[in-house]
Chain A
Amino acid sequence: MAATNPDESKGEGVERRDFLTIATTAFAGVGIAGAAWPFIDQMNPSADVLALSSAEIDISGIPVGQEITATWRGKPIFIRHRTEEEIAKARADDNNPDLIDPETDAARVQRPEWLIVIGICTHLGCIPLRYQGDYGGWFCPCHGSHYDTAARIRKGPAPKNLYLPPYKFLSDTLIKIG
């Protein structure tokens, strides 16, 4: 290129121009990324969805050996009033080397008789069926995952135990989830 700019004849102009090009491109890139963010973030849960984030549930009516399904953030929550055998069975397996996602039963409950888990299969999100499967807990019909009486995954494609929701006992008969 014929030099028309006196600076360029010294060989400095080229470098300065390179710098300007890179700086401008980088600036525009950051600007575009910043402008894109609202378009991406609008798909995240909106304020009204987030506002429904806690639920209080009365558990006084659930007899031993029974289970109910409550909902929290639209998700099913299994609340099982466990029998002595179910608790014993879960604890007996605490150190079983076959556990896919090893966890003790005690770490999964606040009060041993109340097992409270999110009722969504950790494989691909189906709802497991209670009192079914090879381990006396739950069985997921979609691709065949078996959960035990501590809702730990024992067999099948699910990688994790059923997740625990955040909850606390407000009294002996009332729990707050979320």
Chain B
Amino acid sequence: MAFQTNSKIVKWIDRRLPIFSMMHHELYEYQVPKNLNWWYTFGSLAGIILMLQIITGVVLVMHYTPNTELAFDSVEKIMRDVNYGWLMRYMHANGASMFFIAVYIHIFRGLYYGSYKQPRELIWMIGLVILLLMMATAFMGYVLPWGQMSFWGATVITNLFSAFPVIGEALVTWLWGGFTVGNPTLNRFFSLHYLLPFVILGAVVVHLWALHTSGSNNPAGVEIKGKKDWIPFQPYYTAKDMLGFAVFALVFSIFIFYSPDFFGEPDNYIPANPLKTPPHIVPEWYFLPFYAILRAVPDKLGGVLLMFGAILVLFVIPWLDTSKVRSARFRPVYKWWFWVLVFDCLVLGYVGSQPPEGALILIGRLATAYYFLHFLVIMPLVGWFEKPLPVPASIHDAVLADKKAKESADA
């Protein structure tokens, strides 16, 4: 039903700037599959966390000083002196971790239900661009407090670019604005750390635009065919997403109030010292699997290329997956490989967190090999020979079948 109102003011505005019609169209008329499960709330959750990061970030900038002499102390001042400064900083620092948890779950959800497949390839690819932007943002944010991990993390990561032949060294000097990570580096990272979240916001709008063009995928992996298959976003999914947010807020609060440094590194409470590397440097947890891939290769350029390749390969999976069936629910063979991949990523994360010694070197190499084999070999092959289970004729049928299965299990 088209947008209707009795308000003269709303009518006046809507005729000149159809913002109310648009909201109505995207919320009330937008058809959402009625069978979305809880894994589908992580997208809107990620959006809410992005807003939280922007709000707490803008507040932090009111008290933070981007200068190598002053940055560390200004963060300590935020923690001790600024009213509720500790809360703002802990929300921001833990919010970054929550953001990655939400987005990683969101991505694995997409992998399981085949949300990257035709016609949603661009939604998937824009999502990966958002992931890359988030990584850049979080990396530069972590440099701002100018602790030991800030400095050495920045040094190691920017040095990755020196692996490129010929231009490598010049590129790194250009990134630093000097001959080491220093004040010019801190200043430009601060500038970009402020900018990129708004670029992410723009990318999110494009992501949703593409989403609202093809519509949401769903656990059954079949498209909406009739009136019985869908419900409007508002009020049904707004309510569901709010409940998801409430649960998130609870978990978030536990970290902020009871274990605010859970995701942090104690070394980052030591001011940066350019002449002393801490004995064991690790990146933030959300980079660990990639760090493990970097270290799995004994060659510098090879490690760097493979690390970037780990994300780039995700851009082509819409074409690597040969299966006709979208959802892994109806893919008896691929389903298991999916869980092997989840396990593999956890193993990579663990290996990345440990010093590269003994058996861990071998485990890291095997896990890296599996990561690439999964996408480049298993995905095309399994889709080829696997015999999928019968796919429900419609979303409505899938819901009824679920209900029946549940009833007979209860009985």
The answer to whether B300 touches A123, judged by C-beta atoms less than 8 angstroms apart, is yes
The answer to whether B179 touches A124, judged by C-beta atoms less than 8 angstroms apart, is no
The residues of A that contact B152 with a CB separation of less than 8 Å are 126, 142
Distance A129 CA – B173 CA, assembled complex (angstroms): 24
The answer to whether A44 touches B177, judged by C-beta atoms less than 8 angstroms apart, is yes
The residues of B that contact A141 with a CB separation of less than 8 Å are 277-281
B-facing residues in A117-133 (Cβ within 8 Å): 123-127
The residues of A that contact B299 with a CB separation of less than 8 Å are 157, 159
The answer to whether B356 touches A143, judged by C-beta atoms less than 8 angstroms apart, is yes
The answer to whether B174 touches A126, judged by C-beta atoms less than 8 angstroms apart, is no
The answer to whether B156 touches A43, judged by C-beta atoms less than 8 angstroms apart, is no
Please choose the segment from A9-17, A31-39, A58-66, A73-81 that sits at the chain B interface, where 4 or more of its residues have CB less than 8 A away.
A73-81
The residues of B that contact A43 with a CB separation of less than 8 Å are 174-175, 177, 184, 188
Mask for B297-330, Cβ within 8 A of A = 1, else 0? 0111001000000000000000000000000000
| Smallest CB separation, B152 vs chain A (Å) | 7
| Smallest CB separation, B256 vs chain A (Å) | 31
Q: A127-B275, A141-B280, A158-B300 are in contact. Are A73 and B179 (CB under 8 A)?
A: yes
A171 at interface (Cβ–Cβ under 8 A)? no
Distance A172 CA – B175 CA, assembled complex (angstroms): 38
The residues of B that contact A73 with a CB separation of less than 8 Å are 178-180
With an 8 Å Cβ cutoff, the count of chain B residues facing the other chain is 34
> Most chain-B Cβ atoms within 10 A of its Cβ — which of A40, A46, A143?
A143
The residues of A that contact B176 with a CB separation of less than 8 Å are 45
| Smallest CB separation, B267 vs chain A (Å) | 12
Mask for A49-86, Cβ within 8 A of B = 1, else 0? 10000000000000000000101011110000000000
Identity of the chain A residue whose Cβ is nearest the Cβ of B188 in the assembled complex: A43
| Smallest CB separation, B188 vs chain A (Å) | 7
Identity of the chain A residue whose Cβ is nearest the Cβ of B295 in the assembled complex: A143
A29 at interface (Cβ–Cβ under 8 A)? no
Distance A121 CA – B219 CA, assembled complex (angstroms): 50
The residues of B that contact A166 with a CB separation of less than 8 Å are none
The residues of A that contact B160 with a CB separation of less than 8 Å are 124
Distance A141 CA – B278 CA, assembled complex (angstroms): 8
The answer to whether B281 touches A49, judged by C-beta atoms less than 8 angstroms apart, is no
Distance A43 CA – B178 CA, assembled complex (angstroms): 9
Kindly identify which residue among A44, A144, A158 contacts B174, using a CB–CB cutoff of 8 Å. A44
| Smallest CB separation, B293 vs chain A (Å) | 13
Mask for B155-173, Cβ within 8 A of A = 1, else 0? 1101110100000000001
| Smallest CB separation, B373 vs chain A (Å) | 23
The residues of B that contact A125 with a CB separation of less than 8 Å are 155-156, 158-159, 162
Distance A140 CA – B281 CA, assembled complex (angstroms): 11
Identity of the chain A residue whose Cβ is nearest the Cβ of B357 in the assembled complex: A144
Q: A43-B175, A44-B173, A71-B275 are in contact. Are A142 and B188 (CB under 8 A)?
A: no
The residues of A that contact B357 with a CB separation of less than 8 Å are 144
A-facing residues in B106-153 (Cβ within 8 Å): 152
Mask for A152-177, Cβ within 8 A of B = 1, else 0? 00000111000000000000000000
> Most chain-B Cβ atoms within 10 A of its Cβ — which of A40, A74, A123?
A74
Mask for B357-395, Cβ within 8 A of A = 1, else 0? 100000000000000000000000000000000000000
The residues of B that contact A157 with a CB separation of less than 8 Å are 295, 298-300, 303
Kindly identify which residue among B162, B188, B277, B298 contacts A126, using a CB–CB cutoff of 8 Å. B277
Identity of the chain A residue whose Cβ is nearest the Cβ of B279 in the assembled complex: A141
Q: A124-B156, A127-B276, A141-B280 are in contact. Are A45 and B300 (CB under 8 A)?
A: no
A-facing residues in B330-362 (Cβ within 8 Å): 355-357
The answer to whether B178 touches A49, judged by C-beta atoms less than 8 angstroms apart, is yes
B274 at interface (Cβ–Cβ under 8 A)? yes
- Jot down 13 A-B pairs with beta carbons below 8 A, ordered by A: A40-B174, A43-B184, A45-B176, A45-B178, A73-B178, A73-B180, A75-B179, A126-B155, A144-B356, A157-B295, A157-B298, A157-B300, A157-B303
> 7 shortest A-B CB distances, which residue pairs?
A125-B159, A73-B179, A124-B159, A126-B277, A74-B180, A124-B156, A125-B155
